[in-house]
Amino acid sequence: MAGIDDVRRLKLRTVLGWGMDDLTELTHHRSSFDVATAAVRRLRRRARLFSLAGLALLVSFVLGAILIERMANELPAGGWRAEGVVTDKSSKVLDVRLTVDNVEGVVTVRLTGTSPDYQLGERVTVLYDPNGHGLYRTDDPPNSRFLTAVLMITALIGAVFLVPSGLIAGRRWGKRLRSVREHGWRSGRALVRRRMRGHTVLSVRMPDGDVLTVVTVRPVTLPLPMDLTASDVYVGGQGNALSIMFLTGPFVVAARLQRHHER
């Protein structure tokens, strides 16, 4: 008897790309309607996790932008520059010997997360506050901010992809979970009739002789295996909010009813 851990294509990694599919064997399993319901619930949860991950990336992008702006504004726009030599360094600060107002001394200069890897004895340009507030910062060249820009752009792109897709998938799986709870599951036998780009037409014969013509729909991230031509199935819900659990696998797909042929 297959449990929820035996159902394939529920893990997050199966939606990340090709080569991540965990449906490696088309083996027939016995299962239960409760397991099928739990699988639909887990798919809804996965969609919600996508939304939360996207929101986290969006928050990271906004906080990063605020932090960069704050760091840029800590010294006035008219801050002065002075040339110095690195005398000591750590991961966050440099000790730089320089001359300010004809007075030579060693000052502690804060590094940014994108500062170059300065070496002892290397000459460095320091930006400082001429009003004597004790603020010193390396005047890093623009290229040193490339990594920060890449990370922030990546976070923004991830948020733009994850938030809408997660919300849409969560809404659709949520609708199917409600339909399953209201109308329950029925056993049947599915035959693959036609494969199209992103969709598969199935003919499902029910025990009472009725035949349902259904079409798989999104959210479906991976197509039905080419070797799968027929399988015992559980059909949950009704109308445009169908869930179909293939017992060969097993795995779950979203579907909508196209035609109902009564016996």
Per-residue H/E/C for 136-187: EEECCCHHHHHHHHHHHHHHHHHHHHHHHHHHHHHHHHHHHHHHHHHHCEEE
Q: d(Cα 253, Cα 10) in Å, to the nearest integer?
A: 11
Tell whether the model's pLDDT for residue 144 goes beyond 80.
Answer: no
Does residue 183 sit within a domain?
yes
Tokens at 77, concatenated: 């726009």
Arithmetic mean of pLDDT over the chain: 84
Residues 171 and 216 in one domain: yes
Residue 86 β-bridge partners: 96
For range 119-134, the mean pLDDT: 72
Residues 256 and 160 in one domain: yes
Query: What pLDDT is stored for residue 143 in this prediction?
Result: 40
Tell whether the model's pLDDT for residue 77 goes beyond 60.
Answer: no
What is the per-residue burial (b if ≥16 Cβ within 10 Å, else e) of 147-174?
eeeeebeebbebbeebbebbeebbebbb
Tell whether the model's pLDDT for residue 7 goes beyond 50.
Answer: yes
pLDDT-derived band of residue 251, with 50, 70 and 90 as boundaries? very high
Residues 210 and 130 in one domain: no
pLDDT for 200-209, tens place per residue? 999 999 999 9
Instruction: Name the pTM for this structure.
Output: 0.72
Residues 231 and 112 in one domain: no
Query: What pLDDT is stored for residue 85 in this prediction?
Result: 87
Residues 168 and 243 in one domain: yes
Residues 161 and 257 in one domain: yes
Does residue 68 sit within a domain?
no
* Dihedral of alpha carbons 24, 252, 31, 209, sign: negative
* DSSP category for residue 219: S
Query: What pLDDT is stored for residue 132 in this prediction?
Result: 56
Residues 113 and 82 in one domain: yes
Does residue 141 sit within a domain?
no
Between 95-109, 141-155, 163-177, the lowest mean confidence (pLDDT) is in: 141-155
For residue 92, what is the domain's CATH number?
Answer: 2.40.50
Does residue 140 sit within a domain?
no
For range 181-198, the mean pLDDT: 94
Residues 247 and 126 in one domain: no
Residues 208 and 242 in one domain: yes
Between 27-31, 102-106, 211-215, the lowest mean confidence (pLDDT) is in: 102-106
Residues 92 and 211 in one domain: no
Residues 159 and 244 in one domain: yes
For range 148-163, the mean pLDDT: 88
69 compared with 186, residue with greater pLDDT? 186
Residues 35 and 161 in one domain: yes
For range 117-124, the mean pLDDT: 82
Tell whether the model's pLDDT for residue 142 goes beyond 50.
Answer: no
Number of domains in the chain: 2
Does residue 67 sit within a domain?
no
Tell whether the model's pLDDT for residue 75 goes beyond 80.
Answer: no
pLDDT-derived band of residue 172, with 50, 70 and 90 as boundaries? very high
pLDDT-derived band of residue 36, with 50, 70 and 90 as boundaries? very high
Does residue 144 sit within a domain?
no
Query: What pLDDT is stored for residue 221 in this prediction?
Result: 67
Query: What pLDDT is stored for residue 139 in this prediction?
Result: 60
Domain encompassing residue 184: 4-59+155-261
How big is the chain, counted in residues?
Answer: 263
Tell whether the model's pLDDT for residue 72 goes beyond 70.
Answer: no
Question: Which residue, among 31, 46, 22, has the nearest Cα to 225 in the 3D structure?
Answer: 22
